[in-house]
Amino acid sequence: MADIKEAADALSVTSEGLPTIVWYPGHMAKAKRLISDNLKLVDVVIELVDARIPVASANPMLKELIGRKPRLIVLNKMDLASPAITKAWVSYYRSQDIAAVAVDAAQGRGIKELVKLTAKLAAGKTNRLENKGAKARAPRAMVLGIPNVGKSSLINRLAGKVKAKAENRPGVTRAKQWIHIEGGFDLLDMPGILWPKFDDPMVGLHLSYTGAISDEAIDTEPVVLRLIGWLRENFSRDLINRYKLELGGGESLPEDNVELLELIGRKRGHLEKGGIVNHDKTKKLLLKEFRAGLIGKYTLDLPPDKPEVQETEAENNGTGSKEDSRD
Ligand code: G4P
C-alpha cells in the first residue's frame, strides 16, 4: 500500500504525541518541479481527495501549481463518508466555481459523471486550439492526489483494467503513456503524487484515523484515544450499537477515553491473563472498523460554510450530537 511515510522525509510527533511530517525543502522543490512538468502535458487536472477528509487530504499548494488550468475535485471513497456532508462539500466547491464530483472508485459509483465533467472541462482548451487551426486531438487529463487516496483504483476503474502503479515518492514519474477513456479524453497512465500539508496537527490526526499514515509508522495510542473521544462526543449511539455497550438506565459512556477503550476491548473479549484488556488488539480493532465504515460513515473535515451539518447527521442517526469537537 502506498504510504505517506514513504513519501516523506521524516515522520515526527507533535508535543501532544500526534503524527506530523517533516518535508525537506529540496525534496519539496523537486516534487513540485516534476508535477509542474506533467501538468504542462494536460488540459485538465483531476484532483483526488478523500471524501472523509477533504481538507487533510488536499494540498493547498496545488492551486498555485495548476494556475488557470481547469481542475476537477473528486471526493473519492464516498462510500465511507457521510452522504450529507459529501453533498455539502460538492455544493461548497461549486459555490467557489470549482467543479466537483463524489465517487467510489472501488465500486465505480460516480465515474460516469466524472468522465462527463472532465471532458466538459477540457473541451474549452481543445476547442480553442482547434479554432486556432491546430489538429483536433482528444483532451488530456491527469490524476493527482496524496498516497492512498485511491489514484490507482480510479485510473484502473477508468481504464477498465489494471494499469496504474503509483510510485510512492511525490511527483515521481516514469515513461509516460496515455490511456484513451471512452467518453472523451486521454488520461496520463501515471498519477502524480501530492503530499499533504501539515501546518495543522488536525491534518496528521485525520490522516492517521483514515489510514493514510500507516499504523506502523506512528504510536497509535494517542491517535486512537482521540478518535474514541471524537466518537463519544459526536456519535455515542453508534459506539453503543456497534460494541453492544449496554448501559444501565440513565448511564452514559465513560468520559475517560482509556476506560472507554477498555470497555470496548472487554466487550470484544480482547483480554489477557487476569482479565486485563489487551490495548493493542483493541486499538487495532477500532481503527480497522472505523476505516471500513463499520461504526458509521463519517466525514471528519467539514465544509467552511456548513459547520452545522455534522450535528444534523448525529441527530438523524439518533446520537444526539454535542458541539463539534473534532479533536
Ligand atoms: P493510491 O494509488 O492513491 O495510493 O491509492 P490506491 O488506489 O492504491 O487505493 C488505496 C486503498 O484505498 C486501496 O485499499 C483501495 O482499494 C482503497 N480504495 C480506493 N478507492 C476506494 C473507494 O472509493 N472506496 C473504498 N472503500 N476504498 C477505496 P487497500 O486496502 O490498500 O488495498 P485493497 O483492499 O484494494 O487490496
CA of 75 to the centre of ligand 1 (A): 13
Q: 46: pLDDT confidence band, cut at 50, 70 and 90?
A: very high
Domains along the chain with CATH numbers: 2-189 (3.40.50.300), 201-316 (1.10.1580.10)
Per-residue model confidence (pLDDT) at position 313: 60
Residue that wins the pLDDT comparison between 198 and 269 = 269
The residues, ordered by sequence, that sit 6+ positions from 199 with a Cβ below 8 Å of its Cβ are none
Supply the residue whose CA is at minimum distance from atom 36 of ligand 1.
1
CA of 293 to the centre of ligand 1 (A): 14
Q: What does DSSP say about strands 192-193 and 140-145: parallel, antiparallel, or unpaired?
A: parallel
Supply the residue whose CA is at minimum distance from atom 33 of ligand 1.
1
Q: 325: pLDDT confidence band, cut at 50, 70 and 90?
A: very low
Supply the residue whose CA is at minimum distance from atom 4 of ligand 1.
148
| Residues with C-beta less than 6 Å from any ligand 1 atom | 1-2, 76-77, 79-80, 104-106, 145, 147-153, 166
Average pLDDT in the 179-196 region?
Answer: 84
CA of 90 to the centre of ligand 1 (A): 21
Task: Specify the ligand 1 atom closest to the Cα of 147.
Answer: 4
Range name among 22-36, 93-107, 236-250 with the lowest pLDDT average: 22-36
Q: Encode pLDDT of 272-301 as tens digits.
A: 999 999 999 999 999 999 999 999 999 999
CA of 149 to the centre of ligand 1 (A): 7
Does the pLDDT value for residue 323 go beyond 70?
no
CA of 4 to the centre of ligand 1 (A): 14
pTM: 0.88
Q: Angle formed by the axes of helices 151-159 and 111-131, to 10°?
A: 80
State which H helix or E strand residue 72 sits in.
Answer: strand 71-76
Q: What is the mean pLDDT of the chain?
A: 84
